[in-house]
Structure 1
């Protein structure tokens, strides 16, 4: 056998089949003490004895078990896959034998240990001690909970009831650093008519379950993440700024460039998107009463820590998640903004006492707390600013929310949502109440119709477009400051932003998805 490259695992599969050939799809995964291979399809026509190559990005160490899986092909004959044994030869020339002698006639994942006889008392390998609990302890299990849409009143579009689920999605971080869904429950409470779907279920069961998740994501993203946490908060910050701070105040000079078009775009959103005749109201599953329910729930759960990116990353437990560019780039942006804000405000405020004794700043933050966060003390939003670091952090959050955060959740929407099944604005059929009932026709009838799809795509295209007079973060066409220190700090701010821009651009050249 030929081993191709580092980390390549090769194996002989000896099989006895009830038919000379089959149309089913066969898969294998190798699990070692240092990792695992990708789930690999075994290509070609089934024969009595076959040889395959399984590639790994790095050595997975001593092999402990294998996973075998068979997936049927729709409308073609089904067979039983009887496997005698599997032999695996590693790049290190070690040979592992797995006696199977087992008939696989379902679509579950079947796991088999290496053939050496072993008492449990003598099994000191990680494989022997491996459980779902270990992965949890290792920080490799994540949960997406869309409880915010639980039980909301759904829309009626083209005289048809629409559907919106509140799924729970369990995700697993693989040894390769990929975050993959491993279980989906489409309603919040377990019940016999609320099955848990797995990747090992039928192709269409799993696909439809993921589609319901994507639709729930769309509705929460647009209402909670996009509308409330950027557009409406920006309006709160801007309105309080204009009501409480004079134009000569350094905080006014610092923040007013980041309020540009805030009121205009929000008025247009109220008129064209979320009004009674707005596109979001008419063409999403949560449009109408459901939209207000989700916004109210979102508002009641909105916290100050969730708006401060460093705190939010910690609270969500994603500090070490690989390939998380929103976190990596966002934290760098946060730090750059924070240094700039700290430099400017430290120039005007000589100590904490001057912050605490500034009535205009205290009126500004109190106005935000009362009218923006409805005096909700559990939100953690400060009612009073006692120190310069408190003021710097809050102002950093305001600028980040109005600039980088909005860009992150808005600018790429059409790139992703132009393929409608990625983000269905609504779904036309209820979810399946039991497994093995979904067909391709079911999925097509569940997806939104052409008219709804076109309206949703048009909105995403509009939201993702850059304005003709776009001004980037750190660029100030209107000069509000004239003292030398803040002007020099602006130049440093621009330089650091430019350096980060070059760093991200360079990295994106090697990314399949920039």
Structure 2
């Protein structure tokens, strides 16, 4: 029998220890040990919260050789608490020591390598396989590898208008705007069906994304040493015979930014305030943000928040004309589920339209939103009162959908699409070229944000796209505000419908190289809580 001495170091921070069961498997050059429980009594487990060094013996029948890997597994014992492991040291029967750094919270399992720095090509074959598997698992977490590989392609560029972080700008183009003088000669080489631009327009194959709202918005001027530029671009897109949306003409006034402005208090205090993240790293500063918000609020309409109507108003409602628009497809399913749930609850409490008219609280709320919440929006079309159960259902659906699904769609893809800086830079340090064909790699690199600003953006989009530790997703209502059985039944139906939507999206995504997950109900938080 051979005995390996194992030392386990728990972190020094509060609650780093655990009362869950921990198992180790030692992987050596010759063979592996059995999965071994690091056995402790209940009282010893309590001590682990205070005494962080623990020692164990792992006995095996045959020598393992040099220890290459340590597999750590956790099984829940009493609570779901994680364990912060600093490192593990293994001493062989021959006195040789191997240290395995960890320095991370463990909730399920992790495989540790020794602390010796070894290049991938110098690893033993077994460890090479492990490193490859580890890398593949991490790549599955991030979409960045796809973006890095394909960000320069027309297909990836067009795809983001449908399923990126801002999938609400594209619309069907029925007539080329006068301010965008695109001619048949300019785009002839891109029209793969051999038709004229006019014929393609009539056939419904031309789409447009117009960022006119950014026109006259001042660029970031907080750093006098680094001029920054902001664009109000127009992009003409073409649905080719493969049903891919690709660009055929782009107009740039100044380089662009696509960031969605957060509206919660923390964002106002940290992101869009003077000296905040936008001042530091984006091509639009607090002065420009104020102007942009004013322009956006001036264009906001009540009906633009009705998801199906908004999709239709942009001419993007046909699955046959515009396939692979997963933002639309998934959003409609979630909208229908939310609306059915709201309708069920409204009908439980409001027996007729008169009940709605007589509800002073809901009427006061609607009036307050119209008169105070939108007082700077001019002659808006938001209702000042609600006259029927149908209107109440629509109003509540808009609130729930916007705060949950719509926010999820434009927020949680930011790291996926923005982490590769050239794909969607937060600012540009050089103005757009005015002559076609004269841009080289040096011009591009000089235009992209510097390392300092790139790091700021990487950090903030990472933070903004993380779920809360105890996130409550759509349909999860742990507090029983309504105790009536009919409402509980409506909730059960709502969860069932959401589950069906989730299943549909999961099955579809299994067939996609680039899954669209942002409107899967199991990834939609109930509210804006970033």
Q: TM-score, normalization: structure 1?
A: 0.61
Q: Does 1:154 align with 2:219?
A: yes
Shift in alpha-carbon separation, 1:277–1:377, aligned structure 2, 3 A: closer
1:168 aligns with one of 234, 244, 249: 234
Secondary structure, aligned partner of 1:181 = strand
Match of 1:410 in 2: 411
1:281 Cα offset (Å): 2.3
1:146-295 to 2 correspondences below 5 Å:
146-156=211-221, 157=223, 159-187=225-253, 212=255, 215-216=256-257, 218=258, 221-223=259-261, 227=262, 232=263, 266-295=264-293
1:282 Cα offset (Å): 2.0
Distance 1:306 1:480 in 2: 31
Give CA deviations for 1:228-280 in whole Å, capped at 9, x if unaligned.
xxxx4xxxxxxxxxxxxxxxxxxxxxxxxxxxxxxxxx222122111112112
1:434 Cα offset (Å): 1.8
Distance 2:234 2:413 in 1: 25
Matched residues, number: 328
1:375 Cα offset (Å): 6.7
Give CA deviations for 1:64-83 in whole Å, capped at 9, x if unaligned.
xxxxxxxxxxxxxxxxxxxx
2:297 aligns with one of 291, 296, 299: 299
Distance 2:260 2:442 in 1: 28
Match of 1:74 in 2: none
Give CA deviations for 1:446-470 in whole Å, capped at 9, x if unaligned.
0010000010111100100011010
Match of 1:350 in 2: 351
Distance 1:110 1:506 in 2: 38
1:107-506 to 2 correspondences below 5 Å:
130-156=195-221, 157=223, 159-187=225-253, 212=255, 215-216=256-257, 218=258, 221-223=259-261, 227=262, 232=263, 266-320=264-318, 321-374=322-375, 376=377, 378-506=379-507
Secondary structure, aligned partner of 1:444 = helix
Distance 2:191 2:494 in 1: 58
The question of whether the paired residues in 2 share the 8 Å contact of 1:356 and 1:386 is answered with yes
1:100-111 to 2 correspondences below 5 Å:
none
Secondary structure, aligned partner of 1:298 = helix
Shift in alpha-carbon separation, 1:165–1:458, aligned structure 2, 3 A: same
The question of whether the paired residues in 2 share the 8 Å contact of 1:413 and 1:460 is answered with yes
Distance 2:291 2:187 in 1: 39
1:174 Cα offset (Å): 1.1
Shift in alpha-carbon separation, 1:273–1:423, aligned structure 2, 3 A: same
Shift in alpha-carbon separation, 1:110–1:352, aligned structure 2, 3 A: closer
Please report the RMSD computed on the Cα atoms of aligned residues, expressed in angstroms: 2.4
1:437 Cα offset (Å): 2.5
Give CA deviations for 1:397-419 in whole Å, capped at 9, x if unaligned.
10001111111111111011110
The question of whether the paired residues in 1 share the 8 Å contact of 2:345 and 2:490 is answered with yes
The question of whether the paired residues in 1 share the 8 Å contact of 2:188 and 2:196 is answered with no
Secondary structure, aligned partner of 1:160 = coil
Shift in alpha-carbon separation, 1:378–1:142, aligned structure 2, 3 A: farther
The question of whether the paired residues in 2 share the 8 Å contact of 1:369 and 1:376 is answered with no
Match of 2:104 in 1: none
The question of whether the paired residues in 2 share the 8 Å contact of 1:349 and 1:355 is answered with yes
1:110 Cα offset (Å): 6.3
1:39-54 to 2 correspondences below 5 Å:
none
1:490 Cα offset (Å): 0.3
1:379 Cα offset (Å): 3.1
Shift in alpha-carbon separation, 1:499–1:281, aligned structure 2, 3 A: same
Segment of structure 1 superposing worse, 341-350 or 131-140 = 131-140
Match of 1:18 in 2: none
Where does structure 2 lack aligned partners over 5 or more consecutive residues? 1-152, 155-185, 516-530
Distance 1:303 1:175 in 2: 35
Secondary structure, aligned partner of 1:222 = coil
Shift in alpha-carbon separation, 1:135–1:108, aligned structure 2, 3 A: closer
The question of whether the paired residues in 2 share the 8 Å contact of 1:303 and 1:378 is answered with no
Shift in alpha-carbon separation, 1:112–1:446, aligned structure 2, 3 A: closer
Shift in alpha-carbon separation, 1:110–1:402, aligned structure 2, 3 A: closer
Q: TM-score, normalization: structure 2?
A: 0.59
Distance 1:139 1:306 in 2: 22
The question of whether the paired residues in 2 share the 8 Å contact of 1:369 and 1:375 is answered with no
1:31-110 to 2 correspondences below 5 Å:
none
The question of whether the paired residues in 1 share the 8 Å contact of 2:279 and 2:285 is answered with yes
Distance 2:191 2:277 in 1: 53
